[in-house]
Structures are given as structure tokens and as C-alpha cells.
Structure 1
């Protein structure tokens, strides 16, 4: 399966957005789950995506106030309630996974914060929703939470460009590959040094896909690109290019999977 982040840029009706995503060949979408970044009303997205014939891989929880999670104040409580609401939405709409940003390196975990996070985990377990914690500039918090929270509902969202931008020497997939619940695949080209289409930057996709295969990840090839540096392309041209690049990744993954099976047969 090949999926794409649905809020990748361009001004067009959401129904047309999903129609084009499906038309060029994508099987599924990852949904942005807030009114932020110009999204507006978002809950109808699940229905509209499915009406277009798309599978919903996950939702991305709001990120605007992500550092409030550890705070013992009303802002922190508001963010907890936001995440609990996202879990309920996933449960009600039969969406398996929600992606979360933990606070960054300037906001380090504490015992109170961990108790609060475990409350969110309890709700996720009750509702059967996966929490996929994304790597950004947050390795201290990410590694602590994944080591402290032993729950089948809590895992890792591997963002490849964030990996090489913030912690290029750290082997996230070797450490957390077995807990992988989502992926964000994009390259490091462009004015933001991230969210470009694969193969348009300097990342070594052979190495990346081999690591993903070694992690035994069987989920979708998930593209999280933006049109920031592709404004010369129409929306359909951008999507066609994104799908072609995703198919190249899929082929690399299949080749490494085949080699891995051959090697295991000789053991």
C-alpha cells in the first residue's frame, strides 16, 4: 500500500484533493487532524477520503502546543483533553493510529509528565487506538517514553528527514524498529530542508529502505511531502511525481525483502 499526507499544499476543495490522490494511484491517506494550517473543518475528511476509495492510515494530532504536554497548568490539561478527543475520534471513525509530537529538548520529561502521559495511554488502550510517537528534536523525551511505557498501543513514528536533520548519527530504526507503527518519508531538499519528495534531496534511500526492511515493517510506503518547493507543478503533476517516487521506494523495499528472505533460507 502507498499513502500520502493529505494536507500537502495547494488550494482546492477537499473532495477534489482526494479524487486526485486516488486518480494518480495512491491507496491511502494520512489525515491532518485540526483546523490549523488553513485546514478548517477536518472531521469530514475521514468520510470523504473513504468515499473516494482511500484507506485512512492514521491521523496526525495537532502540534501547535506540543510543548504544553509536560506543564502542570491549564494549557497542559487542554492539550491532554485534545489528545483524548483525538483518540475518541479514531475509535469512532475506525482509524487505527494517531501520530503525536512529544515536547522538544527544551522541555524535558518529569514524573508528573509521565503520569499524565500514562493517562493518555490508558485511554488509547481502552479504545484500541495506537499512539505513534514521532521523532523530531525530541530524542530525550522520545527515548524515555518509549523505554518507560510498555504498552502494545504505544510505538514509534519514524520520520526519515527529521532523523537526518536532528540526529543523523542515531540509529532510530535499529533501536525502535520493532515498535514501528507509522512512517513519514520525505527528503531534505528545498528551502525548509525537509518535506521534499524522495530522491529530490541527498538522503540515501537504499540505506533507509534496507533499514526499514530489517525492522520487519509491513505497513504502507507513506509520503509526507509538501509542495513548498514545487510551486511550478500543478496539484496533479505534484501528485503524479509523488506517486512515481513512492513506487521507486516500494521497489527498493521489495528487492531488499527478497534478498532478506533468500539470506534466511541459507541459514
Structure 2
């Protein structure tokens, strides 16, 4: 199965976006679960996607002020409450997995017991409701390791982001480290100079190695693209962009 993040860079109403994604050949979508970009009806998008015959693989939670998750302040409490609500939303809208950033930026805070206990609380709610919480690799992979060392739950796992690894932690074999906790993947490419979210094969990631590792750890989930149209200004139509993206995803699948 092949899926794609529903915000791939072209402006279009969400229902039209899902229609185009389905027409391009994709089986499902990843949704952004917040109204911070003006998408006030974001909780309706799961239904809109399903109306077009797409399945909803997971939601990506907001990472706005996410560093406060580790801070003893009001914002940290609000972020925790928001993530708890995301667990409830996944249960209500029958979405199996939520993706969470636990740090952001160049100088994120170090892991501490406060943040770990907040994530533990979120995980306990996820256990009660049968929802997966997948933590994504970013610049700071130390906090990721600290959380996994301290919280052991079948409902707390790993979201592997190929672009983040290539840009921020190229020499760390995250799939070998956390492959047994893998719940989701974000596949996109870059040239190591920035987090560019290019289509696979348009950067310098060794895709044969990545896909073989996914096979080795017995990953059976969808091939999920998290790409954007920055750098593809020559492709004027979203329909053409999606057609190319789908072909790239099929090339990835052929390497598994």
C-alpha cells in the first residue's frame, strides 16, 4: 500500500485534494491534526478522505511550542492536554496511530522526568483506548532514546523519518535501533543541506539501503511519502506532481 501526507504543497480544498490523491493511485493519507494553518474543520478530513476511498493511516500532531513539553509551565500542560485529546480523537475517528514530535529547533531541551512523565500519561491513555503513539526522529535523537528507555509499552513506538535522519543524524542507524518499535514511516529526500521534503531519488539518500532495512526488520506497513512541492515549481499542476510521486513510491516498493 502507498500513502501520502495530505498537505503536499498545492492549494486546493481538502475534498478535491483527496480526490486527486485517489486518482493518482494512492491508497491512503496521513492527516495534519490541528487548526493552526487555518484548517478549522480538520477533524472532518478523515471522513472526507474516506469518502474518496482512501484510508487514514495516521495523524500528525502539532509541534507548535513542543519544546515546552519538557518545561514546568502552562504551555507544557496545554501541550500535554492537546496530545491527550489527540488520543481521544484517534479513538473517536477510528485512526490507529498518531505521530508526535517531542522536540523542535536547533537547541531543544534535554529529556527530564517531567517530560517523560507527561509522555507516560499520554501513553497510558493510548493503552486504554488502543491507539498507537509514534515518536518521530528529529535533530535531537537523545530525547527519543531516553523516552524509550523509560517507557515500555506496546502502544508507544517509533516513526522513522528518512529525511530527518539524512539531514540530522545520517550516521545513526535508527531503523536498527528502534525497528522493533516501528509504527510508521515518513519517506522523503534531501541533499543534507536542509530538511527539503523532496521526492525520493531527488536527493542523496541510499534508498536501496533504507528499503532493505525496512524489509529486514519485517516492516509491513504502507510506503508513506511526506513530500512537498518546494523545488518543483516547474510542475504547475498538482495532478502531475502526484502522478510523479506515485511512480517514485512504486520504485521504492520495488526495492523492498
Does TM, normalized by the shorter one, top 0.5?
Answer: yes
Of 240-249 and 8-17, the range deviating more from structure 2:
8-17
CA 1:8–1:39 in 2, change beyond 3 Å: closer, same or farther? farther
- Structure 2 match to 1:237: 240
**Which whole-Å deviations, capped at 9, do the CAs of 1:7-41 have from their partners, x for residues lacking one?**
11111111110000000100000001112334342
**Which whole-Å deviations, capped at 9, do the CAs of 1:116-159 have from their partners, x for residues lacking one?**
22111111111110000000012110011112110000000000
- Structure 2 match to 1:250: 253
Tell me, yes or no, if the aligned pair for 2:99 and 2:135 is still in contact at 8 Å.
yes
Tell me, yes or no, if the aligned pair for 1:132 and 1:182 is still in contact at 8 Å.
yes
Pick aligned residue for 1:138 from 122, 137, 140: 140
**Deviation of 1:190 (Å):** 9.8
- Structure 2 match to 1:47: 47
Structure 2: which 5+ residue stretches go unaligned?
none
Q: Matches of 1:11 and 1:190 in 2, distance apart?
A: 27
TM-score by length of 1: 0.92
Q: Matches of 1:39 and 1:208 in 2, distance apart?
A: 34
CA 1:165–1:213 in 2, change beyond 3 Å: closer, same or farther? same
Tell me, yes or no, if the aligned pair for 1:97 and 1:131 is still in contact at 8 Å.
yes
- Structure 2 match to 1:73: 73
- Structure 2 match to 1:160: 162
Indicate the SS of the match to 2:64: coil
Identify the structure with the greater helix proportion. 1
Alpha-carbon RMSD across the aligned residues, in angstroms, is 1.4
Q: Matches of 1:3 and 1:79 in 2, distance apart?
A: 28
Tell me, yes or no, if the aligned pair for 1:136 and 1:162 is still in contact at 8 Å.
yes
**Which whole-Å deviations, capped at 9, do the CAs of 1:210-245 have from their partners, x for residues lacking one?**
111111100000000001111221100110010000
Indicate the SS of the match to 1:36: coil
Pick aligned residue for 2:190 from 188, 191, 198: 188
Equivalent residue runs for 1:78-117 within 5 Å: 78-104=78-104, 106-117=108-119
CA 1:53–1:151 in 2, change beyond 3 Å: closer, same or farther? same
- Structure 2 match to 1:262: none
Q: Matches of 2:178 and 2:195 in 1, distance apart?
A: 24
Q: Matches of 1:110 and 1:179 in 2, distance apart?
A: 22
Tell me, yes or no, if the aligned pair for 1:206 and 1:252 is still in contact at 8 Å.
yes
- Structure 1 match to 2:61: 61
Tell me, yes or no, if the aligned pair for 2:166 and 2:192 is still in contact at 8 Å.
no
